[in-house]
Amino acid sequence: MVNNFITRSITAFYLLFLLLTIFFFKANFLILLPLFLCIYYELYKVKLINYFYIIFFTLFYIMFLFYFDLTYPFILEYKFLFFSIFISFILFSFFLKKPFLKIFFLNFFIFFCFVYSSLLYAFNFNVFFIIIILTSFNDIVAYISGSYLKGPKIIPKVSPSKTWSGSLISYFISFLLLFLFIEFNLIFLILLPMTYFLGDIYFSNFKRFLSIKDYGSIIKGHGGLLDRLDSSLFSISFSFLFLLF
C-alpha cells in the first residue's frame, strides 16, 4: 500500500506541476486538443475505438474549438435541454447490455465532456482549475482514509476499492474546502464533491462491463490518462452545465 501511495503521489505531483504551469501562463484552451488525442489513442490501443471514429471525433472537436463562440450561445439558450440530455445519457448508459452500444456511448460521452470542459476553460478559467485540483486532492484523501479505516465497500462489483469511510471523509473535506474558500451557490457546493465519486463510478462501470483493467498505461500507478481524469471530466461537464443556470 505504501509503494502504491508513493507512486500515486509522485504522479499527482507531476500532474499538478503541469496544471500550475498551464494556469500561470494562461495557456489557450487549444491545449486540451493534445489531451483529447492522447485519450482517444489510448482507447484505440485497448480496442475501444477505431481509426475512423478517432478521425470523426477529432474533426468535430477541432471544428468546435475554432467556432466555440457560436456553440456557447446555442448551449446557453437550450441549457435545460443540454442538462437533461447529460443526465439522461448517464442514466441510460448503465442499462445498456450490448458491448458495442456501451463502447459507442462511452466515446460520445468523452467527446461531449471535452466540449463542455473546453467551454468552462474558456469562460471560467479559475473554476476549471479548482475542479481539476480538488478532484486530485479528493482522490488522494479517499485512498488514504479508505486504506487505513477500511470498512464496507460501496459498489464492489463496479469499484472494488471504494469504501464508505474513504468516500464520506473525502466528500466532507472537499465540501469544507469549497465552503470556506470558494464563493459558490450552496447547492453547487453540495453537489460538486458528489460528482467526483459519481464520475469514478460511471467510468469504472464501463471498465467492469468490458472486462478491462485500465483505459491505458501512460501514467505509472494510475493506468491511462482517462483513468486519472475520469472524475475531473465528469465534474467539469456537470459544473459547466449547472453554472449556466
Look up residue 23 and give its amino acid. F
The distance from CA 151 to its chain's CA centroid, rounded to whole angstroms, is 26
pLDDT at residue 236, as a whole number? 93
pLDDT at residue 138, as a whole number? 86
Higher confidence at residue 57 or residue 129? 57
Coil, strand, or helix at residue 214?
coil
**pLDDT mean over 73-94:** 89
Confidence band for 151, pLDDT divided at 50, 70 and 90: confident
Q: Does residue 130 have a pLDDT over 90?
A: no
Q: Does residue 221 have a pLDDT over 60?
A: no
Q: Does residue 164 have a pLDDT over 60?
A: yes
**pLDDT mean over 67-83:** 89
Q: Model pTM?
A: 0.89
Q: Does residue 134 have a pLDDT over 70?
A: yes
Q: Three cell numbers at 59?
A: 474533426
Q: How does pLDDT run across 30-60, given as a tens digit for each residue?
A: 788 888 999 999 999 989 999 999 999 999 9
Q: Three cell numbers at 156?
A: 464492489
Of 61, 158, 50, 72, the residue nearest 110 (C-alpha) = 61
Look up residue 115 and give its amino acid. V
pLDDT at residue 91, as a whole number? 87
Range of weakest confidence among 9-18, 60-69, 124-133, 140-149:
9-18
Average pLDDT, the chain: 84
Q: Three cell numbers at 174?
A: 472537499
DSSP 124-188: -HHHHHHHHHHHHHHHHHHHHHHHHH---BSSTTT-TT-BHHHHHHHHHHHHHHHHHH----HHH
Q: Three cell numbers at 160?
A: 472494488
- Count each helix (H run) and each strand (E run) in the chain, helices first: 10, 0
pLDDT at residue 172, as a whole number? 93
Q: How does pLDDT run across 166-211, given as a tens digit for each residue?
A: 889 999 999 998 888 777 888 999 999 999 999 989 998 898 888 8
**pLDDT mean over 16-26:** 67
The Cα–Cα gap between 236 and 245 comes to 15
**pLDDT mean over 130-136:** 85
Q: Does residue 17 have a pLDDT over 60?
A: yes
The Cα–Cα gap between 69 and 160 comes to 42
pLDDT at residue 107, as a whole number? 93
Alpha helices in 67-124 (DSSP H): 68-77, 79-93, 99-123
